[in-house]
A and B are shown apart, each in its own frame.
Chain A
Amino acid sequence: MTARLFCCLAALVTLVSCSGGAPPAELPRRGAGSPAYGDALVVGTIGEPSNLIPLLASDSASHDVAGNVFNGLVKYDKNLELVGDLAESWQVSPDGLTITFRLRKGVKWHDGTEFTSRDVLYTYRVTIDPKTPTAYAEDFKQVKSAEAPDRYTFRVTYGKPFAPALASWGAGILPAHLLEGKDITKSPLSRHPVGTGPYRFKEWIAGQKVVLEAFPDYFEGRPYIDRFVYRIIPDTSTMYLELKAGGLDMMGLTPVQYARQTDTPEFLARFNKFRYPASAYTYLGYNLRNPLFADRRVRQAIACAINKDEIVHGVLLGLGQVAHGPFKPGTWPYNPSVRDFGYDPARAKVLLAEAGWHAIGSDGILTKDGKPFSFTIFTNQGNDQRLKTAQIIQRRLAKVGIEVKIRVLEWASLLTNFIDKRNFDALIMGWTIPQDPDIFDVWHSSKTGPKELNFIGFKNAEVDRLIEEGRSTFDQEKRRRCYWRIQEILAQEQPYTFLFVPDALPVVSARFRGIEPAPAGITHNIIRWYVPKEEQVH
């Protein structure tokens, strides 16, 4: 769950694997053909994976690859329901504190060894080991005890009810027989992973490609597509040209590509386009420690001065929707009745005047106590949508007398020198929206410490209480009430101005059949995708 910070970087670049809510607009046009084994699915990745042990990686390229090599105990199915993956079934004790997983029998690691409860226990232990440099330990730290009573049973007990508990066991399970007793940070598995997943690692040619091949003994059956190839292509324009030239089979389109460049009959005959809301939102966050933003009226005024429709139109070409809170529209935690102020520059000026900001000079910039209202919006490099958003906001705020500067920083330095040190005015960033609505890491006041994710320093006693209540019950109706109330508070307080939820716009070569668009997106049944014999090219 703590992975969200890192996931968000790439989330808006390649949204292929992200899940969505509504069925897509377009469906395959060709005949179904008959399922056949063979061929290869070639996808592009901008960055090279860094480490194929999912526990140690924080970049989306690594997780994309590792996702096909490893399995968790549970997973989300196409309707976003939790179902068993390596676990055949599970039982939650009546008090909600103990989960007993019954593991699948006969599951093989890619090297032929049998998968057992020892692997699960090892994964848990290595994750919470303080020596392991991982960002994913937080959820497992809620576990009071873990045990493996026999080869096919794994039991965890929590100190208090913890709603995201079950979902947290979706983390990739690692092979104990290859790792136990060794230093995981130096393991060869990080470049040559051995998992239980539908695809096993074949080769990794530095800077060029990572190749996976179908695992014939996969417990859900051998995947139809023989190979999964990740080509490393650092430039987005090149990637799109490769797609058009047939060098790639799947990628996430930008809104401009989707809306303006791919509606030719030639393109539509060769590719299937999909569109559904992504599980991610983009926001403008204010550093609440900064006196400039301490006054709620100022934050509200900025929200009034921003025209979100304009941003959705200009940046997404309408392929997305305005965001009002941290949950995904259409899901149960999302409160449809919450709206913030809407575009109202006149009201923005009134609110700013109430807060003591007045236009004095001829340049129209508001001042208070002799200081002009000027601040810097930070955003990360390599995300075109955020940069465009920043420029639109800059223009809108100039119209109400606020001067905005934009600083685009490379990811590591933004994180290290500004976010971690709390040394920023405001930033435009994104979060992925996890299936479980627990938002403890981002909004709870205990998470404002160094390097923690509530970096804007939001502290609200009522929100704290609601978050704690929401994560410590399994009753969805109770949880829903908590999260709906949280959204009302956030809309009033405006610690973030929520901007938009973009649409995921994946495109897949038309020779692939069996794609079943669902609330979870398109990749949930990737092992059932196939290319009819007569259309296979690789």
Chain B
Amino acid sequence: MVPLLLGITLISFVVIRLAPGEPVEAMTAMSPKITAETRQRLREFYGLDKPLHVQYATWLKQVATLDFGRSFAPDNRPVTDKIKERIPVTISLNLIALILEFGLAIPIGIFAATHRDTLYDKGITIFVFLGFAVPTFWLALLLMYFFGVKLGWLPISGLHSLGSETLSPMAWFVDLAKHLILPVSVATFGSLAGLSRYMRSNMLEVIRQDYITTARAKGLTERAVVYRHALRNALLPVITFLGFSLPGLIGGSVIFETIFAIPGMGQLFYQGVMGRDYPLVMGILVIGAFLTLVGNLLADLGYALADPRIRHGRG
């Protein structure tokens, strides 16, 4: 855990240092009247006059107390504040998409496996891969145009309608849900392929195993075989897949947050990168990777709990 955290901070640090020019340059560029003295003060503040490893150590000490410094953007706010106000939006949005992804992809995968090589299977294959293959922003714009402008059924962008503060809690929630339909659909559609294919091959593998053959031989119905015996075992590895999906919870959202004007981490990160807001970029990289790490640990734990072999054997 600790070496992983160190590694994460080190890589974030290296990424930032790859950039040409000094962060202070970027910071003062927007205010040309800043004096040489101010610049020197900033250099000292950020420790840029010291050798690299000292800089890293200093920065690390700050990070250890969850202090990522102040943003270089003209608002000059603490990075942690900026991240805090953005994280809930991104995580909840992606969580909904993730739940939908699992809720849809697992049945789809099972269905495809049990109907292997039929037209259904082929149709499903093409459908889920279409979701993966279509450029997100293009699909998003087409849907916005169709449902938002042509049909006028759904709002186009943002999270709330104007004046939503005055709505009743129920109406407020409906309004929010309507805003979420398009972005969540786009995100979910794009991620169906991975999990459903994974589920399909797990299922196929399990079905061929001895105990399933035995179950069949005992004269159980195909339904019972599939759902009582095969499914349980095919579902286990899905927990690992959950671990792999976690970085996407935060990082997969730059494009659709930009296009749907959703104020999340992806958008913030993109702005930070474009504005050379180094403290912000480092902060998001570290926090994003840290959350993923925690998520992975939880997934491992979940796997151990769910799989008796690991619980009793190696674990």
User: Which residues of A come within 8 Å of B, CB atoms?
Assistant: 2, 6, 40, 42, 48, 50-51, 56-59, 62, 130-131, 133-135, 137-138, 185-186, 190-191, 205-209, 229, 231-235, 237-238, 241-242, 244-245, 247, 381, 410-413, 415-417, 420, 451-452, 538
Contact = CB atoms under 8 A, between A and B. Distances in A.
Contact of B145 (A190, A241, A417): A241
B144 interface: yes
Interface stretch (B71-79, B95-103, B110-118, B222-230): B71-79
A6 B30 contact: yes
Pairs A-B, 8 closest by C-beta atoms: A207-B263, A50-B74, A451-B32, A416-B29, A133-B31, A233-B261, A51-B74, A245-B148
B32 A135 contact: yes
Nearest to A190: B75
B149 A241 contact: yes
B308 interface: no
B85 to A, nearest CB: 5
A50 B275 CA distance: 11
B20 interface: yes
A412 B263 contact: no
B156 A241 contact: yes
A323 B243 CA distance: 59
Contact of B74 (A42, A56, A381): A56
Given A245-B148, A413-B276, A235 B29 contact: no
B26 A412 contact: yes
Contacts of B191: none
A234 B268 CA distance: 11
A399 to B, nearest CB: 34
A134 B33 contact: yes
A2 B156 contact: no
Contacts of B176: none
Given A206-B82, A207-B263, A241-B145, 20 more contacts: A40-B163, A42-B162, A50-B73, A51-B74, A51-B75, A56-B74, A131-B38, A133-B38, A135-B31, A207-B268, A208-B261, A231-B158, A235-B261, A244-B149, A381-B274, A412-B26, A412-B29, A420-B29, A451-B29, A452-B32
Contacts of A415: 29-30
- Best-buried of A48, A51, A135, A235 by chain B (most CB within 10 Å): A235
A208 B263 contact: yes
A207 B267 contact: yes
A235 B258 contact: yes
Contacts of B21: 413, 416-417
Contacts of B209: none
Nearest to B37: A130
A384 B141 CA distance: 19
A139 to B, nearest CB: 12
Contacts of A130: 35
Contacts of A412: 26, 29-30, 274-276
B178 interface: no
28 contacts: A2-B33, A40-B162, A51-B76, A57-B74, A58-B74, A130-B35, A131-B38, A133-B33, A135-B33, A206-B82, A229-B162, A232-B263, A233-B261, A235-B259, A237-B259, A241-B145, A245-B148, A247-B155, A412-B26, A412-B30, A413-B26, A415-B30, A416-B26, A417-B25, A420-B25, A420-B29, A420-B32, A452-B32
B156 A242 contact: yes
B143 to A, nearest CB: 10
Given A207-B267, A452-B32, A238 B261 contact: yes
Interface string B235-267: 000000000000000000000001111111001
Contacts of A2: 32-33
A4 to B, nearest CB: 12
Nearest to A40: B162
Nearest to B148: A245
Nearest to B31: A133
Given A57-B74, A190-B75, A241 B141 contact: yes
Contacts of A131: 38
Nearest to B270: A234
Contacts of A452: 32
- Best-buried of A190, A191, A410, A416 by chain B (most CB within 10 Å): A416
Contact of B261 (A6, A51, A234): A234
B43 interface: no
B34 to A, nearest CB: 5
B152 interface: yes
Contacts of B20: 417
A130 B36 CA distance: 11
A233 B30 CA distance: 23
B108 to A, nearest CB: 30
Given A135-B31, A137-B33, A245 B158 contact: no
B159 interface: yes
Contacts of B76: 51, 185-186, 190
Contacts of B259: 235, 237-238
B261 A231 contact: yes
B85 A206 contact: yes
A411 B152 CA distance: 36
A196 to B, nearest CB: 23
B201 interface: no
A276 B213 CA distance: 79
B173 to A, nearest CB: 17
A56 B276 CA distance: 19
Contacts of A232: 261, 263
B32 A208 contact: no
Contacts of A247: 155-158
Contacts of A413: 21, 26, 276
A134 B74 CA distance: 11
B162 to A, nearest CB: 6
Contact of A208 (B30, B159, B274): B159
Contact of B148 (A48, A62, A191, A241): A241
Contacts of A48: 271
A436 to B, nearest CB: 20
Nearest to A59: B74
Contacts of B32: 2, 135, 420, 451-452
- Best-buried of B85, B89, B155, B162 by chain A (most CB within 10 Å): B162
A420 B74 CA distance: 19
B31 A238 contact: no
- Best-buried of B89, B155, B263, B271 by chain A (most CB within 10 Å): B263
Contacts of A133: 31, 33-34, 38
A59 B276 CA distance: 15
Given A234-B267, A420-B29, A451-B32, A538 B162 contact: yes
B31 A538 contact: no
A137 B141 CA distance: 44
Given A241-B156, A413-B26, A58 B261 contact: no
A50 B82 CA distance: 12
Contacts of B148: 241, 245
Nearest to A415: B29
B163 A58 contact: no
A190 B75 CA distance: 7
A85 to B, nearest CB: 25
Contacts of A134: 31, 33
Nearest to B25: A416
Contacts of A40: 162-163
Nearest to A191: B75
A234 B152 CA distance: 22
B117 to A, nearest CB: 42
Nearest to A231: B158
Contact of A238 (B74, B157, B276): B157
